[in-house]
Amino acid sequence: MPSPVEDRPGLLLRDSLRYSDTVLIVPPHLIQCLTLFDGEHTERDLHETLYRMSGDLRAGEAGDQLTTALVRAGFLDDEAFAAMREARHREFAESPVRAPAHAGSGYPDDPEALTTVMRHWMGGEPSAPQTDAIIGIAAPHVSPEGGFESYRAAYSKLSPKLRDRTFVVLGTSHYGAPDKFGLTRKSYVTPFGETKTDGALVDELTRAAGDAIGMEDYCHSVEHSIEFQVVFLQSIFGPDIRVLPILCGSYFRSIYGGGMPEDEEGVKRFLGSLGEIAAREKDRLCWVLGVDMAHMGARYGDQFEAVADANEMIEVAERDRMRMERIAAGDASGFWELVRENRDDLKWCGSSPFYTFLKVRPDARGTVERYEQWNIDQQSVVSFAGMSFR
């Protein structure tokens, strides 16, 4: 992303998967040199490019420094990076629990401070819980500081009476493989405590869906879309609850190649197995979707500066609402037809969890409790909503 440091312009590089903890800022005059790190160009090509740019025979030294910095950071596809990746995967596989990845950044890492901020996020005058027919909610996974009112709109529909259910948390897998589902048997830990994962349901899905599943998927270790939901669930019910955390990879092939997501055999098997669990377990489950919607503006590759609820974002809101209407009506195919339009130029990162839910709970009918747009930076907007399902 563009460097946010005023006195250090350039391109900021970081590793979202946290194989590397290093953050680099590449200065403007070296940014175009990154295209040479493609496995085809040589060190000599780098030096010649820098010489043509500057006319300075010593410019190659800057190229050598850039190469060294990228290697040390683990930002090149080489042995150093492979070792970092292997170590991180092994660390997660051997850990008895899924440790909190975003405590101290997305929310406080101190239990008392977290309790205080949760009172703020869940405070105000929420509507009374309606639990007689509630089967689930959809909440954002954007930073709670930016989207807490939509979190509140969704989670205020849940009552303490639901605490004995298994909460099936369908989260967006931002880093996982397309048409795959990430599972883990590990308990989710937050500053509030440890929440158990329903291992029996994990095993059932694994047996039925086979290679459509990434078991002990490393993406769980860094993904926020489920972690934030667990924190909100714990704030309502306490940590002693059961969850079935499922990371849903994008249905990329369907969006770009046509057809429906379940045309992929693995997706079909997974949706079938999860649907059988939903039909059998019925009211012993409660569904929680961790989903954002449109991603618009400079950060996301658009050629305009996005401002929440203004200009281009007014049309985005209309298109968002059309999709939400299909979701609320339980119309999976109608929703997906809108997602595939223009190859999802709205860039809904929550489309796969929504579609998964609609396919396994075709009887679900939804209500949009709140819709918002939020400037994640001065040029970019994320939209999201709180929804309830009956």
pLDDT digits (tens, 9 = 90+) for 2-11: 898 989 999 9
Q: Place 273 in a pLDDT band, splitting at 50, 70 and 90.
A: very high
Nearby residues of 251 by Cβ (< 8 Å), 6 or more positions away: 178, 179, 261, 267, 351, 352, 355
pLDDT digits (tens, 9 = 90+) for 202-260: 999 999 999 999 999 999 999 999 999 999 999 999 999 999 999 999 999 999 999 99
- Distance between CA atoms of residues 323 and 205, nearest Å: 29
Q: Is 122 exposed, middle or buried (0-12, 13-18, 19+ CB in 10 A)?
A: middle
Rounded to two decimals, the pTM is: 0.93
Q: Place 125 in a pLDDT band, splitting at 50, 70 and 90.
A: low
Q: Average the pLDDT over 170-199 and give the result.
A: 98
Name the CATH superfamily for 97-389.
LigB-like (3.40.830.10)
Min mean pLDDT across 23-37, 123-137, 266-280 is at 123-137
Q: What's the pLDDT at 163?
A: 93
Q: Where are the domains of the chain?
A: 11-90, 97-389
Q: Is the pLDDT of residue 50 over 60?
A: yes
Nearby residues of 229 by Cβ (< 8 Å), 6 or more positions away: 139, 141, 167, 169, 171, 288, 290
- Per the rule left: phi > 0, alpha: psi between -120 and 50, beta: everything else, 310 is beta
* Residue that wins the pLDDT comparison between 189 and 127: 189
Residue 169 DSSP one-character state: E
